Structures are given as structure tokens and as C-alpha cells.
Amino acid sequence: MRHSCLFVAVSLTLISLSGCRMESTGSSAFNPATNVDLTFSSFDLSNTDQAPTALSYTRFSDFYTGIQPIASESNETAKHLATVKEIRQHIDRFIGTQSAEKGNGNSYTKIRNPLDLINQVISVGRINNFDEGRRYIRDRISANQAGNYNTRSAGARIRFTDQAAAISQRPLNDTEWNYQTLDWRYLPEGPEGSDLTQKVYRTIQYVARTVSDDRQEEQPELISLLAGARFAAGEFVDDGYNRPEYATADFVSRSFGGIELRQEFIGDVQKDTLYIKSPDRQILDLSRYGEGEGESKTSPDCLRVEINYAMDQVRLYASDGEPARVPDTPDEADSSTSDNPANCINQSEDQAIAAWNVEYSEVRKF
């Protein structure tokens, strides 16, 4: 039996209906994933008086604010500010921020996307099966035994419905979000030869429904997302937020290619890196940095924006027509390849086309 309940608050840290909990239905001792079917008053997330820091836990919160250049009246700063504005506008297309709500533009006040929504639902608790999944992983950690919660292998469904969007008869992809995979996995021992022991891994996958060409314009931009995170098992908790050591979030849109955010917080490394992949149109005007003129030069197929929180610095990299990997020998029959140092993903610091110092150094991770 599938159960559902109504979340009536904009911020999911507020669940106003008492007793609004999901039942566990037929879970396995080896995989407790079961159906979860929730109805929300809205998928929009924002800070509230009761949850004033809710948006600080969204995936792009630190990056979005952190790329802001230190205030200055120099020509270089003006260039960087223009670039930062374009980067944020591009991110907006994927994560559903609304420009009219943004204040000074350095942060967002409202956001709407499947990744941040499910992250907040999980962290708030009170959904029995999600709570059970994290308790199960915590128990496996205590017993030092591998364990896995996986909706796909259990044949379980996660469906979220936006009541306001349904009443307004918005497209189904904006009204109902189905998650193909939610997976927690505890591995006491990592791959042979690695030092990745005592780790918990989480995977979230969302895919929008396919629509006909004549319906494309009315659909949300986001087609799919795939997010992964790695946690230190000793710090993994079964309530509230878990801070990852490493996390990735890969978004694909209908019209603007894809973006991927990689986050690393291991030891002295505190870094977020945004990859803007295969844009079919101009995303950043790189001619302001002397990167040539014309559409072909200002729209490279690989862009990398990296913020080093420890150094309070952003670096921008770009390449066009350079594969990520190249053959080790001219003989194409030889299947061995190596990283291409000319591709923006692999470029060294001295190959950055722009760099600027930033105002923001405090990092609070979800």
C-alpha cells in the first residue's frame, strides 16, 4: 500500500500536519527501501522565520555566493562581475532560481529543483522509510558489515507531487517528480589498493518524462540529474544533514547542455568546481578576456569555474575542440589513452584565462 501526506510549508523544515509520517511496507532486512509518495503545497524552497537557514543547505549555496569578486572599481573587477553574472544566470536555468526574487544577485531567495527538494525531505526526517534507510546504514556501520538501501533494486517508487502546480494545470514534468534511484551504500572496505575504507555512498537520480517536440517550450529546462556523495562512516548520522567529503551533481537541460558541480572537502582541500559542458550557444562572453572574437571563440565546448575556499580565489578555464583524453600513441588501434592537458578539465593553474579574489570564505556544507 502506498501512503501520501501533504507538506504545506514552503520550507521543508516546517511540516505542519501532525502525524504526517510514511509507513514502511514490505521492506527487506537486506534492503529496506519501499514506496514513498508525497504531496507538497509547492516544490519551491525558501528561508522562513522557523527555518532561517534552509537555503544555506542547498547544493549551490556556497558556490553561488562564493564566486563574488572583492569589491573594486577597476576594469578587471568589472569584467569579473560581468562573468559572474553570466555564470549565475546559467546556473539559474538548471536549479530553478527566480531572478525577480534575488535581491542584490549575490544569492538566491527561492529555488526549485528535484535534488534540493529530496535533500531537505531526507534531512528533516519524519518520512519513515527514508529514516529507516539511514538507521539501517548506521546499524551496518556499528556492526562493521556492508549494507545497502536501494529503491531501484527493491522495485520501490519515490514520487513527489506539487499541489499548486497541479491545480494550475502546469506540465506534468513541473507537477510530478519521480526519482528513479535513491541509494545508500556502506562499504567497510574500499577497492583493493585504495585507502577508501569506512565510507558511505549515496546516489540520487531523477529523469523527466519524454515529451514531443511541439511540447518542448512549455516544459521545465531540467531533463535529468544524477548526484553522488561520499561520507566518512564514523561521522554519518541518521538524522539531520550529513556533510560529504566529496559530492557531485550532474544536471542536463533541454536547451543549454549540462553542468556538473564537484565538491571536495577532504583534509586541507576545500574546493567547488563547476563544469559547463557542450553549450550550443554563448554562455560566457570570453572576448572580455582577449579570447578572440565571434561566436565560435566565445562559446567553447568546455568551461571550468573553480573556487578554492582555502585561498579565497576563483579561476576560470576554457577549451574548445579538445577531447578530455587523447591516445597515448598516434596509432588509433592502440586503445590506451591519457588525460589531455589542453582540455579545460585538465588544465593547470597557469592556463586559467581569468582569476579573481573573492569576498566569501565561510563555507557551510549541507
Residues β-bridged to residue 251: 225, 259
Which segments of the chain have a pLDDT < 70? 1-29, 98-104, 292-299, 331-334, 360-366
**Digit-coded pLDDT (tens) for 227-266:** 999 999 999 999 999 999 999 999 999 999 999 999 999 8
Alpha carbon 344 to chain centroid, angstroms = 20
| C-alpha cell recorded at residue 303 | 568551461
| C-alpha cell recorded at residue 73 | 572599481
Contact 146/139 with Cβ under 8 angstroms? no
Contact 84/67 with Cβ under 8 angstroms? yes
Res 226: pLDDT = 98
Contact 49/323 with Cβ under 8 angstroms? no
Sign of the dihedral defined by the CA atoms of residues 40, 43, 49, 54, in that order: positive
Q: Amino acid identity of 329?
A: T
| C-alpha cell recorded at residue 117 | 527538494
Contact 187/146 with Cβ under 8 angstroms? yes
Neighbours of 184 (CB within 10 A): 26
| C-alpha cell recorded at residue 280 | 550550443
The residue behind cell 578539465 is 345
| C-alpha cell recorded at residue 5 | 501526506
Residues β-bridged to residue 339: 325
Res 51: pLDDT = 75
- Global model pTM greater than 0.85: yes
Res 1: pLDDT = 33
